[in-house]
C-alpha cells in the first residue's frame, strides 16, 4: 500500500517540477530583457536589444538617482501606499465581519449588495465625476488620494473577506461569547487572527495596486510635480513620439526594489500570516 502511494506521488512531483520550471523560464525571460537593457545607453539598446551589455553602464542608474525629484517621488508613493493600506485595514475587516455575521438582517444584506455592485463598475464611469468631486472638495493631493483608495478598496476587500469569513467555523467565537466576551473583543482577538491569510493576501494585493497605479494619480496629482508617484514618473519617459526605454527600464527596476526589499525582510511574517489559518486545530 505504501509503495503504491509513493509511486503516485513521484509522478505528480515530476510533472509539477517540469511545470514550475517552464513557468520560471517564461517569467525570467522578459525580466532578463528589462535588467539587461537598463545597463545600456539608448543607442546601444537600439543596435542590440537582446544582447548582453558590452559594458555595464551605470549611467542610467546614476542619472535616475541623482535627479532630486526621484527620491521625492519614492517618498510620495511610499506615503500614499502606507496610508492607504492603513485605512484598508481599518475599514475592510470591520465591515466584512459585520456583514458576514449578520447576513440574515436586512440592513446588512443591503449593505453587502451595495458594496458588491461597486465591484462591477468599470473605472471609466467614475473617472471624470470622481475628478470633479475631488476638485470641488480641494482634495487634489496625496491625502485625498489616500481617502479615495480606501473607499475604492472596499469592493474587492469586502467581497474577499466576507466569503472567507463565511467559510470559517464559528465554534471559537461562540465559545468566547458564552464566556462573556464583547463583540469588539471577539473581533479583535479572535476573528482578526483567523482571517490573517486572507488579510495578508488583501494587503499584498492592495499595496501592489497603490504602488503601481497610474490612472488615479494621473488625474488627481497632476497639478504639481511634487505630488507625483512612481508610475507617473516612469511613464514620463514615454512621450508621444519617443520612448526612452533604457531609462524607463531602469526606473521600473528601481521601483520594484523597495517591494522586493520589504518582501524579503517581512517574509517571515508574511508566510506566518498566510499559514496561520491552517493551524487551527
Partner 1 sequence: MIDKFLERSTYFLFTVPAIILYTLFFAYAVIVGIQYSLTDWNGISSSYNYVGFSNYTELWNNPNFRQSLLVTGKYAVMLVAGVMSLSLILALSLNSLKKFQTFTKSIYFLPAIISAVTISLIWDQVFVRVIPPIGQGLNIMELYQSPLAHPKYALIAVVIVNIWQAVALPTLIFIAGLQSVPSELYEAGRIDGASTFNRFRYITFPFLIPTITVNMVLAIKSGITSFDYAYALTGGGPVKSTNVIGIMIYNDAFQNLKFAMANAESVILFIIIAGLSFIQIRLTRKGGVH
Partner 2 sequence: MKRSAKLSVTAMLLMSIILTACGKENVADNGNSSKSDVVKIEFFQQQGEEAIQNAYHEIIADFTKEYSNIEINMNTVPDPVKVLTSRFATNDIPPLFTDFPTQLQFKEKVKNGYIENLSDQPFIKEVNEKYLDMTVADDGGYYSLPYARNYMAVYYNINLFEQNNVKIPTTYAEFIEACRLFQSKGITPLYLPLKDVGHIFQATNIAFAPGGVEEMVKVANGEGQVEANPVFLEFAKKLRELTQYANKDAFGVSAQMMQETFANGQAAMIISGSYGRGNIKVANPNLKFGAFPLPNDTVDTTTALSGVNASLSISAKAKPEEKEAALTFLKYIARPEVAQKWSDLSGEPSIIKGTTYGDQYLQPILDFIDKGRVHDWMSSTLESAIVTELYSTTQGYLINNETPEQYLKNIDETIKLNTVK
Q: By CB under 8 A, is residue 40 in contact with partner 1?
A: no
Q: By CB under 8 A, is residue 121 in contact with partner 1?
A: yes
Q: By CB under 8 A, is residue 42 in contact with partner 1?
A: no
Helix spans in the chain (H): 2-38, 42-47, 59-66, 68-100, 106-118, 123-136, 142-166, 171-178, 183-185, 192-194, 196-212, 215-220, 230-235, 245-276
The total of other beta-carbon atoms located within 10 Å of residue 73's CB is 23
* Listed ranges 17-25, 82-90, 96-104, 172-180: which one lies at the site for partner 2 (CB under 8 A): 82-90
Question: For residues 35 and 130, which CB has a smaller minimum distance to partner 2 in the complex?
Answer: 130
Contact characters 54-83, partner 1, x per CB under 8 A: ------------------------------
Distance of CA 31 to the CA centre of its chain: 19
Site for partner 2 in 142-161 (CB under 8 A): 142-143, 146
Q: By CB under 8 A, is residue 245 in contact with partner 1?
A: yes
Closest distance to partner 2 from the beta carbon of 143 (Å):
4
* Listed ranges 59-67, 70-78, 171-179, 203-211: which one lies at the site for partner 1 (CB under 8 A): 203-211
Q: By CB under 8 A, is residue 85 in contact with partner 1?
A: no
Question: For residues 211 and 227, which CB has a smaller minimum distance to partner 1 in the complex?
Answer: 211
The total of other beta-carbon atoms located within 10 Å of residue 20's CB is 9
Q: By CB under 8 A, is residue 243 in contact with partner 2?
A: yes
Closest C-alpha to 95, from 143, 172, 156: 156
Closest C-alpha to 205, from 156, 260, 264: 156
Amino acid at each position: 500500500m505504501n509503495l503504491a502511494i509513493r509511486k503516485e506521488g513521484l509522478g505528480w512531483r515530476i510533472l509539477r517540477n517540469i511545470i514550475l520550471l517552464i513557468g520560471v523560464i517564461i517569467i525570467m525571460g522578459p525580466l532578463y530583457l528589462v535588467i539587461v537593457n537598463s545597463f545600456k545607453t539608448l543607442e546601444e539598446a537600439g543596435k542590440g536589444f537582446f544582447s548582453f551589455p558590452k559594458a555595464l553602464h551605470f549611467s542610467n542608474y546614476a542619472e535616475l538617482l541623482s535627479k532630486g525629484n526621484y527620491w521625492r517621488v519614492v517618498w510620495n508613493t511610499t506615503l500614499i501606499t502606507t496610508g492607504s493600506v492603513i485605512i484598508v485595514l481599518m475599514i475592510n475587516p470591520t465591515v466584512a465581519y459585520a456583514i458576514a455575521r449578520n447576513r440574515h438582517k436586512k440592513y446588512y444584506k443591503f449593505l453587502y449588495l451595495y458594496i458588491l455592485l461597486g465591484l462591477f463598475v468599470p473605472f471609466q464611469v467614475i473617472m471624470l465625476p470622481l475628478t470633479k468631486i475631488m476638485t470641488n472638495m480641494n482634495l487634489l493631493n496625496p491625502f485625498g488620494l489616500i481617502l479615495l483608495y480606501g473607499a475604492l478598496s472596499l469592493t474587492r476587500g469586502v467581497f474577499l473577506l466576507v466569503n472567507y469569513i463565511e467559510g470559517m467555523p464559528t465554534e471559537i467565537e461562540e465559545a468566547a461569547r458564552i464566556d462573556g466576551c464583547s463583540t469588539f473583543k471577539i473581533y479583535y482577538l479572535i476573528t482578526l487572527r483567523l482571517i490573517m491569510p486572507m488579510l495578508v493576501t488583501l494587503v499584498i494585493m492592495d499595496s501592489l495596486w497603490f504602488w503601481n497605479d497610474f490612472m488615479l494619480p494621473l488625474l488627481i496629482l497632476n497639478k504639481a510635480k511634487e505630488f507625483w508617484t512612481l508610475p507617473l514618473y516612469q511613464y514620463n519617459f514615454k512621450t508621444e513620439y519617443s520612448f526612452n526605454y533604457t531609462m524607463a527600464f531602469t526606473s521600473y527596476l528601481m521601483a520594484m526594489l523597495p517591494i522586493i526589499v520589504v518582501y524579503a525582510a517581512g517574509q517571515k511574517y508574511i508566510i506566518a500570516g498566510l499559514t496561520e489559518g491552517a493551524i487551527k486545530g
